[in-house]
Structure 1
């Protein structure tokens, strides 16, 4: 029997400081912070997805072997054009490391702007509008 998956539900990011990372994603990308489960776990919710923040060296989590802060590349999409993304990042004190630049996303051509989160993960903010 063969199956396919429907969508990405959540990912887990290993972070150095859960509160610093949660605050950054809320302030810069507008995600909602939610505490849940045992040990006051934290997730960042947006759209129909979430990011769980796993502090490095945490016990009781199943995670990828060798998971380390700053080893992920993430791409988020928005309806905002790249010029406005750059203005927002600059207003938040976040340095743009590349962009706007043309890329190919899951739904076709898009325009991307790149920055880093507090752990050094590469964060791509992309728009299908340009």
Structure 2
């Protein structure tokens, strides 16, 4: 077992930002789909009003998804950077021991795989 004693705050920030943006975008699309089904099952819809409702909610969901993804990416980047910095600080002052991981040696080339 090896111990991670230092994290790159920028790499942690990038990872946090990406996953928060992805979650925010997918969540907003899910909310858009739920809104579409809710409007269609209300009843008394003509074909044109149903079509307009579906198109509007899809476009609105994508727009809100993009806006929330950008906001979540910024918040995720900032919080990831702070987390990486705090982790390094806590390991440096021996407040925590670090994250223990087990690493496996990867073969350098294909000849080691065939043997």
Q: Aligning the two structures, in what range does the TM-score lie when normalised by the shorter sequence?
A: under 0.3
Q: What's the TM-score once normalised by structure 1's chain length?
A: 0.17
Q: More relative contact order in 1 or in 2 (CA 8 Å, sep 6+)?
A: 2
* Structure whose CA Rg is larger: 2
Structure 1 or 2: more strand by fraction = 1
Q: Structure 2 length as normaliser, TM-score? A: 0.19
Of Structure 1 and Structure 2, which has the larger fraction of its residues in helix?
2
